[in-house]
Chains A and B, each alone.
Chain A
Amino acid sequence: MTEAALLPLAVLLPLALGAAAFVLPEAAARRLLAPGWAAMAAVAAAIALAGEAPLRYALGAWPAPLGIELFADRLTQALLLLAVAVYAAVLPYARAYFTPGAQQARLFWPLAWLLWAGLNAAFLADDLFNQFVALELLGLAAVGLTAISGLPAALAAALRYLLAALIGTNLFLLAVALLYGASGVLSLTALATMLVPAPYAALALALLVIALALKTALAPLHFWLPPAHGGAATPVSALLSALVIKASFAILLRQWLALAPALEVALLGHLLAALGALAIVWGSVLALVQTRVKMLVAYSTVAQVGYLFLPFAWLLPGAPGAGLALEASVLQLIAHALAKAAMFLAAGCLVLAVGRDDFDALHGAAARNPVAIFAFGLAGASLIGLPPSAGFAAKWQMLHAALAAGQWPWVLLLLAGGLLTAAYVFRVLKLAFLPAPAAGDAPPASPAMPAAALALALAAAFGGLAAAPLLAYLDLGAIAWHTR
């Protein structure tokens, strides 16, 4: 299995790029962007093309049963490619966003590569140890990125983020100790076969769920997200909202699929779904009352995280609709990554044009940045769940999962959530039609910025057209409940 040697490359290459960007002058780090991205894309594509069977790469001399290895199935392949797509838009955007030679830029490039290493490590992890390491790496890079502007508000947000990350890490570590102490294995595959219903195992799963719900910002554990995502530099906001919270969610999803069959998880599943419902309503209502556009987008993330967790009501071993629920979660993960990155990038174009991000200042900015506002609208259509967007495909699977389980209230919640989303999305779109005040604002920045937002927005808005082949390819039924 020579292809398996590609797996460590997906983590080591961005680490090397980050180190290079750190030591090189800023101008040289910029020149590294295109070839660096191309190399990352090539690695991800090679892994995706490597074949049918999941790839495994044993790290060091730690074979099974300890089982510390890198692992890539089709879900991993899709997530690796998702990161490639988001970076494809964010890197050129950042190149135009940051002034050459500025302190922010010097910090952004190495941290962005480091973040990518953490993301890929998380996507490739199939054991508790690797998941832990990946989360640490991600947290480090993400907190650092939040702080790069150096503004007091950003530093405060970064500290709060750091606090949340540390709490999450400690809970995670505690759960790992419980599971390893009792079973002597770390691999999820091994745990899935060895786990017996016992209080320690239930406690461990609960700790893992709390730790990762905190890192994914599931309400009411979302307190750290809005200031961090809304206050960071725009390219950072896009990476955090699109990818970082998805990495912790993907880890949780894999743990759930491995550990849930041995345990009584119906109650926990319904609790997660209920918190998801809370997130949808509460996040949307707060998005409706924000006075700054990037905070609106950040609270929209709080709401959209709710849709990631809603399917846990049906994602129970043997439950009707479990397959649909798993598909819904994965589709929502992909849809939100594309749409939210697009929305942050678009909002950033508007903010940059006037130098402020409160709604009053944005009158007319929208009219003078038609591409940015169009991208915002397309991304919004996906968040609302209008066809043929990727968000619609996710919502469609969720509606069917709810009906398969005969649970009507969720259907009403999903539909109401779409309308709430429309209400806050159109708060921004309305700006485009207000009469513009007299000119005098800064001219719109490089056309690369709105173009980057538009590319991702188009992928989100028309992604639903690819849902059927994508789901057929992912074949999520095969990874459900660890049957691999």
Chain B
Amino acid sequence: MAHALSASALLPLLTLLSSFVAGLAIFLLREQQARLRTTLNLGAALVKLGCVAAMLWGTAHGVHYELRLPLLPGNDLLLRADPLALLFVTLSAGLWLLTTVYAIGYLEGSPHRSRFFGFFSLCVTATVGIAMAGNLVTFFLFYELLTLATYPLVVHRGTPQALAAGARYLAYTLGGGAVLLAGIVWLQALAGPVEFAAGGVLRALDPAQHGALAAIFAVLIAGLGVKAALVPLHAWLPQAMVAPAPVSALLHAVAVVKAGAFGIVRVVYEVYGIEFAHTLGLLLPLAAVAAVTILFGSLRALAQDDLKRRLAYSTVSQVSYIVLGTALFGPIGTVGGLVHLVHQGVMKITLFFCAGNYAETLGIHRVSEMAGVGRRMPWTTAAFSVGALGMIGLPPVAGFVSKWHLGLGAIDAGMPWALAVLLASSLLNAAYFLPILRTAWFDAPPPHWPHEHIAARPGAETSRWLLWPTVAGAILALAAGSSASLPGSPLGWAQMIAEREYAGHGGR
């Protein structure tokens, strides 16, 4: 039994340390030690995936993974692999592997790679910590670490635009962190140290405190909403697209916006509890903010010619699907929000990889430069098409499964207006993605590409390091959508979590 106990504390730690130690080791490497750096990067990514797989297997067999160390008086550093944590940790560990492969190809031969990959690893360490955090203080610790570890990646190129984007990123995220800290301290003053638990932990508090609890909820959501890019706290995200493509993938799919959305999920379900939040009347305002963000992001995306900017506004919109699902009272909406956490990540990472491939291979940065690119880069464009159709919500891509559950959840929660928002957003998605697909596949290519860095070779439209993760992302997006009814799928996992959140508290 002692052996099982120590193993159950070690695995979360090892999951965390695999990238942390690799990151520190990479900092120490000289710039030319490319092979060793690649080995460390990929080795750490594989070790982390192995740890996650072991924890998934163990959890399915009833093992409880938890690591608890004293941190502050009354507050522990608590890492715990509960089902919600595993959903996010599996997503980030899986996509990290893809992004690492992609980044190795993307940055080949460019300066400061040891610095880049060092912080890259710290970023993923922070994300894993956020996923497995078992209480608010631990969550906050890794949430701030994520800010610090991401800044060097955003300003990596050192150009005035990158530094300006970095300054705005810091101003927003550190400001959000301060607001989040205020909420956490206020809540702790009221309720003592808060550990996450399915069904929430605050319901037992004196009803006289309900006003303060509602105010704390607003403060917490405002702090988390910066990273989740809720309107009007979203302005850092489109500007941060000056960063290299792998960083965009990290910001938009693996780590940063996900950390914000995941934090909102934790606060709603496992701090307040969905039913208690519903009783306090907190869900409707949250749904309204999400709806505004969904429509605003989609409308702004329409107007962008820069491909990465269009994708960035698309992220603003799509991440709020998760928030909307969280705010829909009822298990179906919950499933829709949780499963979109995974689906949006897989689809958006594919789209950003594609944008990076176009830029690195042909120098294409704008939608208006994409005419006929489907003939020159069929695999990349096919992957882009999968991602785009998924974002619109067409079966069998993953996005359809999300939108289906969100729509049903809206009706189930008695919020038919949310269904109208989803439909309007889908039309807008189509309006900003379909013209790209049309011009890429059907228009005639120009005589010269803007800046052809990588010449076409038979059977290889671009570097293999760039192409394989892109295609893998598209396959994952298709697989998540078409195998949704299987038990191990993201949908099955989300359903299991939703059952826990509503079980046994007199819910529906």
Within 8 Å by CB of B182, from A388, A404, A415, lies A415
A419 touches B158 (CB 8 A): no
Bitwise, A202-216 to B at CB < 8 A (1) or not (0) is 000000000000000
Identify the interface centre among B137, B166, B182, B185: most chain A CB within 10 Å of its CB: B185
B152–A433 touching, CB < 8 Å: yes
Per the bound structure, the CA–CA distance linking A467 and B181 in Å amounts to 18
- Contacts A415-B181, A468-B73, A471-B73 hold; do A400 and B163 have CB atoms under 8 A apart? no
Are the CB atoms of B185 and A468 closer together than 8 Å? no
B258 contacts across to A, CB distance below 8 A: none
Please, which residues of chain B bring their CB within 8 A of the CB of A404? 189
Smallest distance from the beta carbon of B132 to chain A beta carbons, Å?
A: 15
Given contacts A387-B137, A396-B185, A404-B189, contact A467 B71 (CB under 8 A): yes
- The answer, among B72, B141, B144, B167, for a CB contact under 8 Å with A467, is B72
Which residues in chain B, 125-162, are within 8 Å of chain A measured between CB atoms? 137, 140-141, 144-145, 148, 151-152, 155-156, 158, 162
B68 nearest CB across to chain A (Å):
12
Residues of A close to B140: CB separation below 8 A: 387
Asked if A403 meets B156 with Cβ closer than 8 Å, knowing A387-B137, A418-B178, A419-B178, the reply is no
A403 B185 Cβ-Cβ under 8 A: yes
- A400 with B185, Cβ < 8 A, contacts A387-B137, A426-B170, A433-B155 known: yes
Output the least CB separation between B21 and chain A (Å): 15
Least Cβ–Cβ distance between A386 and chain B, in angstroms: 5
Question: Of A396, A416, A433, A471, which one neighbours B163 at CB under 8 angstroms?
Answer: A433
Question: Given the complex of chains A and B, what is the CA–CA distance between A411 and B182 in angstroms?
Answer: 7
B71 A403 Cβ-Cβ under 8 A: no
Q: How far is the CA of A400 from the CA of B186 in the complex (A)?
A: 8
Residues of A within 8 A of B141 (CB): 387-388
Task: Indicate whether A422 sits within 8 Å of B170 (C-beta atoms), given known contacts A370-B115, A404-B189.
Answer: yes
Closest B residue to A432 by beta carbon equals B152
Cβ-closest chain B residue relative to A467: B72
- Beta-carbon contacts of B168-184 to A below 8 Å, as 1s and 0s? 00100011011101100
CA gap between A381 and B72 in the complex, in Å: 17
B158 close to A381 (CB less than 8 A) = no
CA distance A327 to B152 in the complex (A): 34
Contact with B along A344-365 (1 / 0, CB 8 A): 0000000000000000000000
A410 CB, nearest partner CB in chain B, Å:
11
**Chain A residue with the shortest CB-CB distance to B137:** A387
Whether B181 contacts A403 by the Cβ 8 Å rule is no
Is B71 a contact of A464 with CB atoms below 8 Å?
A: yes
Q: Which chain A residues border B279 with CB–CB below 8 Å? A: none
Assess the B174–A419 pair: CB atoms within 8 A.
yes
A370 to B181, CA, bound (A): 30
Question: Shortest distance in angstroms between B123's beta carbon and chain A's nearest beta carbon?
Answer: 15
Cα–Cα distance between A387 and B184 once the two chains are bound (Å): 13
Our pick among A370, A418, A465, A469 for the contact of B77 (Cβ within 8 Å) is A465
Q: Is the CB of B155 within 8 A of A430?
A: yes
B488 interface hit (Cβ, 8 Å): no
**A297 proximity list for chain B (CB < 8 A):** none
Across the interface, which residues of A come within 8 angstroms of B459, CB to CB? none
Which A-chain residue is minimally distant from B180 (CB atoms)? A415
Point out the residues of chain A lying under 8 angstroms from B163, CB to CB: 430, 433-434
The answer to whether B211 has its CB under 8 Å from any CB of chain A is no
| Residue among A404, A430, A464 with max Cβ neighbours from chain B (10 Å) | A430
- Whether A393 is near chain B, meaning CB under 8 Å from some CB there, is yes
Complex Cα spacing A430 to B155, Å:
9
Asked if B188 CB lies within 8 Å of chain A CBs, one says: yes
> What is the minimal beta-carbon distance from A364 to any residue of chain B, in angstroms?
10
Chain B residues closer than 8 Å to A415, beta-carbon distance: 178-179, 181-182
A399 engages B185 (CB within 8 Å): yes
Question: B507 contacts the other chain (Cβ, under 8 Å)?
Answer: no
- What is the CB-to-nearest-CB distance from A177 to chain B, in angstroms, rounded to a whole number? 41
A467 touches B73 (CB 8 A): yes
Question: Whole-angstrom distance between the alpha carbons of A430 and B163 in the complex?
Answer: 8
B447 within 8 A of A: no
A435 in the interface (beta carbon within 8 A):
yes
Check A399 against B72 for contact (C-beta < 8 Å). Answer: no
Decide: A433 and B156 in contact? CB cutoff 8 A: yes
Q: Give the chain B neighbours of A422 by CB distance below 8 A.
A: 170, 174
Q: How far apart sit A433 and B115, CA to CA, in the bound complex (Å)? A: 10
Tell whether, in the assembled complex, residue A403 and residue B189 are in contact, meaning their CB atoms are under 8 Å apart: yes
When the two chains form their complex, are residues B144 and A434 in contact, meaning their CB atoms are under 8 A apart? no
Decide: A386 and B148 in contact? CB cutoff 8 A. yes
Q: How far is the CA of A384 from the CA of B145 in the complex (A)?
A: 13
Please give me the residue from chain A that is nearest to B179 by CB atom: A415
Interface positions of A from 374 to 413, Cβ below 8 Å from B: 374, 377, 381, 384, 386-388, 393, 396-397, 399-400, 403-404, 411-412
The docked-state distance in angstroms from the alpha carbon of A412 to that of B219 is: 13
A184 to chain B, nearest CB (A): 41
Chain A residues within an 8 Å CB radius of B207: none
Complex: A393 Cα to B71 Cα, angstroms: 9
Which B residue's beta carbon lies closest to that of A468? B70
A388 with B71, Cβ < 8 A, contacts A422-B174, A433-B156 known: yes
Which residues of B are found within 8 Å of A465, using beta-carbon distances? Answer: 69, 71, 77
Of B27, B69, B72, B170, the residue contacting A396 (CB under 8 A) is B72
A-B contact pairs, 13 of them (CB 8 A): A370-B27, A386-B148, A388-B71, A388-B141, A397-B72, A403-B185, A419-B175, A432-B152, A433-B156, A433-B162, A464-B72, A465-B69, A468-B70
Other CB < 8 Å A-B pairs besides A388-B71, A430-B167, 7 of them? A374-B27, A388-B77, A396-B72, A400-B189, A403-B189, A433-B155, A464-B71
